[in-house]
Structure 1
Amino acid sequence: MSEKRKLAFTKANYKIMIVGVVVLALGFILMTMDTEPYGFGFMGLTLGPIVVMLGFIIQFVAIFHKPKSKSDSE
């Protein structure tokens, strides 16, 4: 039992996930800041959803990121 348990994610994974959550929040905030009625302007229909999609892509990368060296996994 002296062997350490391996966690599913490393510190790098969690850092990337935090960046992804911040980008997601920024995308939703951009969508709410649209001045057009019902959010039918550029920020509500184009810019916000693109930023949200980028946030989900960052989360996908965070889940599948593997450390390159042993020192990165500590």
Structure 2
Amino acid sequence: MAQKYTRPVVAPKPEEKKMQPVQFIFDNSNYKLLAISVAIVVLGFILMSGNTDIYSNTKIVIAPLVVLAGFGLAFYAILKKPGTKA
């Protein structure tokens, strides 16, 4: 049996669509925290650099803790929910 051809039904266009503002995943505060965390990681690597006294307390203990703190802050900046504006 032959099938009958029917045109697809097109929904009528609404007169006016309400435009909603685009909501980004990250807020301005997230980007600031992320930039600060990158600066902290860079500072930690600067503290680790150099070729004199490789067994100094700064290079072995303090610099790795600064780098880990920077990575922790970056992790927090990514997972932080942006503030809701009502």
Cα RMSD of the aligned pairs, angstroms, is 2.0
What is aligned with 2:71? 56
Instruction: Note the residue ranges of structure 1 that are not aligned, 5 or more in a row.
Output: none
TM-score w.r.t. structure 2 length?
0.69
TM-score w.r.t. structure 1 length?
0.79
Instruction: Note the residue ranges of structure 2 that are not aligned, 5 or more in a row.
Output: 1-16
Give deviations 1:15-35, integer Å, cap 9, x for gaps.
000110000000000001463
Identity over aligned pairs, percent: 33
- Asked whether 1:25 is paired with 2:42, we answer yes
Task: Tell me which stretches of 4 or more aligned residues in structure 1 moved more than 3 Å.
Answer: none
Residue range with higher mean Cα deviation, 20-29 or 4-13: 4-13
Kindly name which structure, 1 or 2, has the bigger radius of gyration based on alpha carbons: 2
- How many pairs align? 69
Structure with more helix by fraction? 1
